[in-house]
Chains A and B, each alone.
Chain A
C-alpha cells in the first residue's frame, strides 16, 4: 500500500514539475539566505578584526630598545639561545604602504601567512624572491618589486605582510629588527633580559583597543540580522510548504475517500517532505556559498576558512557549517509542515477540496489578535523590560507581530481602495486583489521582513559609521599620539616638543572604583582640543570652564547609566575629594566607567602618577618630520607613535567595506524575497483561473488582465513597503537603543537616511515587478481553451 500511495503522491510532482520546483526553490532559498548571510557576516567580522588587530598593535608583550633604536640581529639570536621565545618584526613605509616583515617560523599563531591565507605556501613565502601578502588595493599602491604578490583580503588595509628577510631588503635595513614579539608561553628557566641584552625593555601587552571593543557591538548587531534573515527564510519555507499542501488538497481528499488511512498518509507526507527538505537544504547551502561569493568578490578567502579548506586549497564544506544549513532547511520544513499536517489531520474527510477562503478569514481574526498581542508585548518590554534576553524577546515579538499584522492591514487598505473605485473594472481589481491576499500573505510577509531588515541594516550601519567617525574625531583629535617607556623618556619627549613649539597634552590616568563601579580616572589639560572636538551628550552650561576651574568632572555614558548618576550628582573621586558632574560624554566601546578631571586637580590628588602617553598638536604636514625628531632625539620607537591620520584612513577604509557588505545583504534578501513572490504568483496563477476566466469571458482581454496583474504586484509591494519602513526603524531603534545598551552599557545614536529608504523602496518595487512579470506574460498568452476549461470542469 505504501508504494501505491507514494506513487500517487509523487505523480503529482511529476505532472506538475513547477509545483515541485516551487517547493524545492522555496526551501533552498530560505537556506541559502541563512547561510549566505552568515558568510557575509563572517566577512564583515573578518575585515573588522583585521583592522582592530592592526589598530590594537597586537595583543602580545613586546621587546624594544630603550632608546628606540633598531635591535641588531645578533641580539635576537642571543635571546633565542638563552631560551626566550620571541619573534622578530621589522616595519617601515614603502611608498604609502606599511611593510610588516615577520618570521613565520617563530611568530605566534594568528600572525603571518599561516593564518592569513588558507592556502598560502610557507616555502614560497620565506625563500626565493618571496611573497607579498596584502589586499588588492594595497598591492596596487605598492611600488614594483621582484616578489610575487598574493591578494589576501584578511590583511589590514594599507599594510603588506612579507618575510622579515624580504622586508629588510625592501626597506634597506639589513640585519635590523624593530621589535620582538614575546610569545605568551615562555620556558620557566631563561636568563633575565637585562643580563643578555642590556638596553632592551619588555613592554606589557596593550589593552585590547577601543576599536576592537566597538566592533563587538557591531558583531552583535550583525548576529541579530543573521537571525532576522533566518526568520525571513522560515517565512519563505513556510510559504512553500503551505502551497505544496494547498495544491494537493484534492488528491488528499480522494486518497482518503478511496481508503488510505489518515495516519499513514500523514507519515508518508512527512517522510516525503523531510527528503525534499534535505535535498533542498543541500542545494541551499551550496547556493548561499555561491551567492555570497558572487556578491563579495574578495570574500572567497574568508569563505574558505569558514567552509573549511584542505591543504591543496580545494573546497570542502566544514561539517558545522553545512550541518547548520541543513538543520535550518529540515527544521524549517518540519516546523512549517507540522502546522500543515496538523490541519490536514483535522480536516474533515469530506471537506471541500477548494482552498477555503472562509477558514482563512477566520484564521485571520485569530492572527490579528496574536499580532496585536505580540506588538503590545514588544511595546511593554521596550518600556519596562530589563536585560539582554528581554531585548531579544522584544525584537522577536516586534518582527513576528509586525509580519502578522500585514495581511489584515493590507485587507483594510484594499477595502478602502474598493470603496473608492468607480469603474466596474477598478472595483473588480480591488476586490480580486483582496481575495489574493491570503494566498500571497506568506510571500508578502517575507518581503516585509526583507525590507524591514534592509531599512534596519542601513540605519544601523550608517548610524554606526557616523557615530564612529565622529567618535574618532573626538578621541583622535591630536595629530600624533606618543607612548613613553619611562618617566625619563617622557621628559625628553616634552623637551623635544617644547623646542619645536608643539603643544603637549599629557594623558594622566589611574584605575579606581567610582560610585561602586570599576572606572578609569583621567586628568586632562584645559585646551581647545577638547572644547572643539568633544561632544557632550548632556552638560551644564559652560561645562568646560567649570572643569578647567577644577570645580566639576565629566563622566562617560557607561558610568552615568550603570551608577544611575545625573548632572550635578556629587562623585567621590578619592578620600576628601567630591566633585559634581558637569557633563556626560559618549565613550563607545569602553567596557568600564571613566571620569575626567582637570589635570591640576588630578596631579594634586595623585602625585605619584606621571604621564607616559601624550597627545601632540602640530601642523599635520610636519608630523613626519616631528616623528623623526622624536626618534632621533628622544629615542621613541616607531611603534610607540601613532599617527592619527593613518588610523582614521584605516577606519574609513573599513567602513567602505561595511557598505559593500550592507549592499550585498540588501540585494540578497530582496532577491530572495522577490523569488519567493514569483513562486507564489506562479502557483496562484493556476489556482485563480476560475476567478479570471469569467472576467475574460465577459470581455476583458488577456493583455489587460495581465497588465492588471502587474499593477497588483506593485500595489501590494508598495503597501508592504509602507509598513516595512516604520517596522525597520523600530527594529533599528530596538537594536541601537535597547539591545546595545543592555549588552554594552551605551547607546548608539540613531540617524535617519531618507534617501537610502527611497532607494530601498524602489528596489523592492522593482523586485516585485520582476516577480510578477513572468506570470503576467503567461497570462497574456494563455490559450483560450485553457480559460474555457474552467467552465467545462465547473464543479
Chain B
C-alpha cells in the first residue's frame, strides 16, 4: 500500500469543530484520486498532513508502510524532498531562480538530478523556449507547468496536487491537467488531486468528496 490514513483527526487551534474527523483512506501505487469538497472543507489540510507539511492531532499517516507521525522536522523534510511531491495552486516557484534552475532545484535537493529526465520533462511540458526566463516573465499556465516539472523531476512515489488548475482559465486548465495525469501515469506514482471542477474530477479513476470532516 502506497498511502494509508487511519482515523486521522485534525483541529486547528481556536476552531470549534475538527476540520478532519477520523479520516481513513488507502491509495495504491499508480492510483489516481480526485478529492473534491466545498471551499474550507479541509481538502488542503488533508493534503498537507499527507505530505508531511503539517501534523495530525490523532491517527496514522503511513507512506509505504512507514508512519509519518513520529518523524521530526528533518525526517519530514526528507520525505518531501524525495518521496512526496507537492504542487500548489499558487505555483510557489522561487522567483529569483530561472525556469531551468527551478525545475532542477528539487531533484538536486533530493540528490536525484538526472539531466536526461529533466530534458524530457521540459520538452513534454513545452518549456524548452523558456528555460532562461524568470517565473515572473511566464503566464500562469506556464508557471504551473514549471512547478509540475520541478515536482516530477526527482520521481516522487506520491504526487499531491492542491487545485493545480485553480488559477488557470478553462482551456489552459485542461491542457495542464492532461499533462500532469499523463506524466504521473508514466512514472507509476500515486496521485491525489484536489479540484473544484466536477469535469476534471470525473476524468480520474477514483473520486472522494470531503464534507463536515468526513470523506464520502
Contact = CB atoms under 8 A, between A and B. Distances in A.
Nearest to B45: A350
Given A8-B94, A8-B97, A259 B110 contact: yes
A632 B54 CA distance: 99
B73 A258 contact: no
Contacts of A16: 96
A355 to B, nearest CB: 16
A254 B78 contact: no
Given A16-B96, A251-B95, A349-B54, A4 B105 contact: yes
Main secondary structure of the interface of A (DSSP, over half): helix
Contact of B101 (A11, A261, A793): A11
B92 A259 contact: no
Contacts of A531: none
Contact of A350 (B48, B80, B93, B97): B48
A1 B109 CA distance: 5
Contact of A258 (B48, B96, B106, B134): B106
Interface size range on A against B: 20 to 34
Main secondary structure of the interface of B (DSSP, over half): helix
A780 to B, nearest CB: 23
B74 A1 contact: no
Interface residues of B, number: 30
A12 interface: yes
Given A11-B101, A263-B73, A257 B96 contact: no
A259 B95 contact: no
B95 A260 contact: no
A256 interface: yes
B96 A261 contact: no
Interface string B93-125: 111110001000110111100000000000000
Interface in A340-380: 349-350
A257, A264, A789: most-surrounded residue (chain B CB, <10 A): A257
Contacts of A254: 92-94
Interface in A1-55: 1, 4-5, 7-8, 11-12, 14-16
A795 interface: yes
A121 B111 CA distance: 66
A15 B134 contact: yes
B46 interface: no
B95 A258 contact: no
A261 B78 contact: yes
Contacts of A539: none
Nearest to B107: A4
A568 interface: no
B82 interface: yes
A784 interface: no
Contacts of B178: none
B24 interface: no
B90 interface: yes
Nearest to A792: B140
A546 interface: no
B77, B81, B150: most-surrounded residue (chain A CB, <10 A): B77
Contacts of B110: 259
A350 B54 contact: yes
Interface string B76-92: 01111110001010101
Given A8-B105, A11-B101, A12-B96, A259 B90 contact: no
A645 interface: no
Contacts of B93: 254
Contacts of B181: none
B53 interface: yes
A117 B181 CA distance: 81
A11 B108 CA distance: 15
Interface string B125-136: 000000000101
A749 interface: no
B96 A8 contact: yes
A461 B86 CA distance: 64
A795 to B, nearest CB: 6
A257 B73 contact: no
B80 A258 contact: yes
8 contacts: A4-B109, A5-B109, A14-B96, A250-B95, A258-B150, A260-B109, A261-B73, A264-B74
Smallest CB-CB A-B distances: 3 pairs = A259-B81, A259-B80, A15-B96
Interface of A: 1, 4-5, 7-8, 11-12, 14-16, 250-251, 253-264, 349-350, 789, 793, 795
Given A11-B101, A15-B96, 9 more contacts: A1-B109, A1-B111, A11-B96, A16-B96, A257-B53, A261-B73, A261-B77, A262-B74, A789-B136
